[in-house]
A and B are shown apart, each in its own frame.
Chain A
Amino acid sequence: MIEFTGVTVQYGARSVLRGIDLHIQAGQRVAVVGPNGAGKSTLIRTLLALAPFGGSVRINGHDARRDGLRARALVGYVPQTPFFPAALTAAEVVAYFQDLRGVPADPLPLLRLTGLEAAAGHAVRTFSGGMIRRLALATARIGDPPVLLLDEPASQLDAAGERLVLEWLEAAGAEGRTVLLATHHLDGLGAAVDRVVLLEDGQVAADQSMAQLLARRWIEITTPAPLPPDLPDSAQVVPGGNGRLRLRVPDAAVAEVLRALADRLLHIHEPSLEDLLREERR
């Protein structure tokens, strides 16, 4: 459905993307993670021909540059910093984008879906950052596109907004939509994405299914020596305890290990999924 082949992006002397090869199947929900400047947003922008790139980018076989109109017709996009004409109301913005896509309809259902129904008649200039992002989520659903490109869709959103994005991602799975999502918050997504790609320094550093990643979750427990004799074997001692013992415990064995270490003073560290993915790269 989405194919990046040898994609490079160069800004002056700086290489933002360096030969990305990534194939995303129809109906797959892929989260792209990585530090700031890793190239996550740029990767998404190449799909819309919004960044100059080398190599080939295709959506459902349509070349993003040469056949951009057809490619973009398949896509709903939420950029990192969405912006709409400030003088228009929320309902007008949705109607505007519905007209552009050639699917004029009542804008209210989409606004209701994103929790903006009450603000439908208010000018965008009065909106908070979170409300503008909700409006972007509404416009991304116009025409029921089979591909969603979401660049930090939950940033600036309140808890209800974050839940909304999560529900959308879960629904996208059930509806068979293809999703490419750039995010810094992988842990909250859980099973709402199918695959996780780590971008570092403009390259794919790791690429794993979310199920595999979740299955490999562990926590780290630092405890004074000696270890109790009934400690399960799944708890492994790793270096770096700084005078104490440092144990790596798989998620499944955590309860058992904590029972064995019941009376001890513990320090527990739970790495993020992104940390796990980074470890996989090494």
Chain B
Amino acid sequence: MSTVRVLARWDARTVLRDRWFLSAATAFAALTLAAAALALAGADIAGLSSFDRVAATLISLTMLFVPLLGLTVGAGWIAGDRETGALTMLLSQPVDRGALFAGKYLGVAQAVLSAILVGFGAAGVVLAARVGLDRLPAFLWLIAMALLLALAALSIGFLLSAASQNRNRALGAALLAWLILVIVSDLGILGTALILRLPAPAVLVLGALNPVSAFRMAAILGISGAPDLLGAVGIYAAEQLGPAGLLAALTAILVAWIIAAYLLGRARFQSLTEP
């Protein structure tokens, strides 16, 4: 078995026993289930279908919860090992640092993605029972985008972890990153656009560069197929790129975040002189 696979297997097992992770995963499953049930309780109000109401609720929930889960679990992982000395034990083995980073990432990714699949699975069961399977492709698209967002958050978390001396600093940086990505970024862009009278393309680019915004736009567009739901900027983007092109661009942004943050984190980890 390769080193990466060994590490991934054992780290997945370890993170699945982590109390914080288990609490967060359980909370996410409970929230998705509750959100789906509540959204369906008020079905067909205000012209929205049952599925659209559930999807809108799940998108909001995912935007808040999934980055928080990915960032905090990722940030705590390597920095925590570094603080306790567990990393020293691993680095004293005949293990390549790049493989160690990859194995740890894949192990935690398995656990995080499993937690998200369980959460969406719970909502999906409720949805299938009440609404049927007509919108299954749209629901699967939403799950796929949520998984990409989770991986992007995890990569950023691992980057912060590799750059931090201890778990507390890494977690602090992760919470700051979460605030910026989820709350501050959109407000900042809106304010900047108003003050500087930015043109639509600039606002689009600035907004889409945030992985959370890219997820929201990709999810809404993929489910509804209606760029007007994204506002003036979305309409402009769809006109320029076409709906399929815009979806591809947003997906590419999420993938780029995953790869870029991962590579930066790995480079930082490999350059640690005093692990």
Measured CB to CB, the residues of A under 8 A from B are 48-52, 68-70, 72-73, 75, 77, 79, 81-85, 87-88, 92, 96-97, 99-102, 136, 139
Partner of A100, one of B3, B14, B84: B3
Q: Which chain B residues border A77 with CB–CB below 8 Å?
A: 92
Partner of A48, one of B1, B18, B91: B91
Question: Which candidate, B42-50, B62-70, B93-101, B239-247, is the interface stretch facing chain A?
Answer: B93-101
Q: Which chain A residues border B275 with CB–CB below 8 Å?
A: 50
Q: Bound state CA distance, A52 and B10, in angstroms?
A: 29
Q: Are A84 and B17 in contact (CB under 8 A)?
A: no
Q: Bound state CA distance, A85 and B7, in angstroms?
A: 12
Given A87-B14, A87-B17, CB of A97 within 8 Å of CB of B88: no
Given A99-B10, A101-B93, CB of A52 within 8 Å of CB of B273: yes
Q: Which chain A residues border B9 with CB–CB below 8 Å?
A: 99
Q: Are A88 and B13 in contact (CB under 8 A)?
A: yes
- Asked if B195 is at the interface (CB within 8 A of a chain A CB), the reply is no
Q: Bound state CA distance, A85 and B6, in angstroms?
A: 15
CB proximity of B17 to chain A, nearest CB, Å: 4
Q: Bound state CA distance, A83 and B84, in angstroms?
A: 6
Partner of A50, one of B1, B18, B84, B92: B92
The residues in B between 94 and 152 inclusive whose CB is less than 8 angstroms from any CB of A are 94-96
Closest to B15 in A: A87
Q: Are A84 and B18 in contact (CB under 8 A)?
A: no
Q: Which chain B residues border A100 with CB–CB below 8 Å?
A: 3, 6-7, 90, 93-95
Q: Which chain B residues border A96 with CB–CB below 8 Å?
A: 6, 10
Closest to A79 in B: B88
Q: Bound state CA distance, A96 and B95, in angstroms?
A: 13
Partner of B94, one of A70, A85, A99: A70
Q: Are B89 and A84 in contact (CB under 8 A)?
A: yes
Partner of B89, one of A52, A70, A82: A82
Offer 23 A-B interface pairs, CB within 8 angstroms, sorted by A.
A48-B91, A49-B91, A50-B92, A50-B275, A51-B274, A52-B274, A69-B96, A72-B92, A72-B95, A79-B89, A82-B89, A83-B86, A84-B86, A84-B89, A85-B10, A87-B14, A92-B13, A96-B6, A99-B1, A100-B7, A101-B93, A101-B94, A139-B89
CB proximity of B86 to chain A, nearest CB, Å: 5
B interface, size bucket: 20 to 34
Q: Are B89 and A75 in contact (CB under 8 A)?
A: no
Q: Bound state CA distance, A49 and B273, in angstroms?
A: 8
| Most A C-beta atoms less than 10 A away, residue of B17, B92, B94, B273 | B92
CB proximity of A16 to chain B, nearest CB, Å: 11
| Most A C-beta atoms less than 10 A away, residue of B85, B89, B95, B273 | B89
Given A79-B85, A79-B89, CB of A72 within 8 Å of CB of B10: no
Given A51-B274, A87-B18, CB of A82 within 8 Å of CB of B85: yes
Q: Bound state CA distance, A139 and B92, in angstroms?
A: 11
Q: Which chain B residues border A88 with CB–CB below 8 Å?
A: 10, 13-14, 17
Q: Bound state CA distance, A72 and B90, in angstroms?
A: 11
Q: Are A72 and B94 in contact (CB under 8 A)?
A: yes
Closest to A88 in B: B14
| Most B C-beta atoms less than 10 A away, residue of A51, A75, A82, A100 | A100
Q: Which chain A residues border B89 with CB–CB below 8 Å?
A: 79, 82-84, 136, 139
Q: Are A48 and B92 in contact (CB under 8 A)?
A: yes
Q: Bound state CA distance, A68 and B88, in angstroms?
A: 14
CB proximity of B272 to chain A, nearest CB, Å: 10
Q: Which chain B residues border A50 with CB–CB below 8 Å?
A: 88, 91-92, 274-275
19 new A-B contacts, CB < 8 A, other than A69-B94, A72-B92, A72-B93, are: A50-B88, A51-B274, A69-B95, A70-B94, A72-B94, A73-B94, A77-B92, A79-B88, A82-B89, A83-B86, A83-B88, A84-B89, A85-B86, A88-B14, A99-B9, A99-B10, A100-B94, A102-B1, A139-B89
CB proximity of B147 to chain A, nearest CB, Å: 25
The residues in B between 7 and 32 inclusive whose CB is less than 8 angstroms from any CB of A are 7, 9-10, 13-14, 17-18
Q: Bound state CA distance, A87 and B18, in angstroms?
A: 7
| Most A C-beta atoms less than 10 A away, residue of B10, B95, B96 | B10
Q: Bound state CA distance, A185 and B186, in angstroms?
A: 62
Closest to A139 in B: B89
Q: Which chain A residues border B273 with CB–CB below 8 Å?
A: 51-52
Q: Are A85 and B85 in contact (CB under 8 A)?
A: no
Q: Which chain A residues border B13 with CB–CB below 8 Å?
A: 88, 92
CB proximity of A118 to chain B, nearest CB, Å: 22
Q: Which chain A residues border B17 with CB–CB below 8 Å?
A: 87-88
Q: Bound state CA distance, A133 and B91, in angstroms?
A: 18
Q: Are B85 and A97 in contact (CB under 8 A)?
A: no
Q: Which chain B residues border A139 with CB–CB below 8 Å?
A: 89
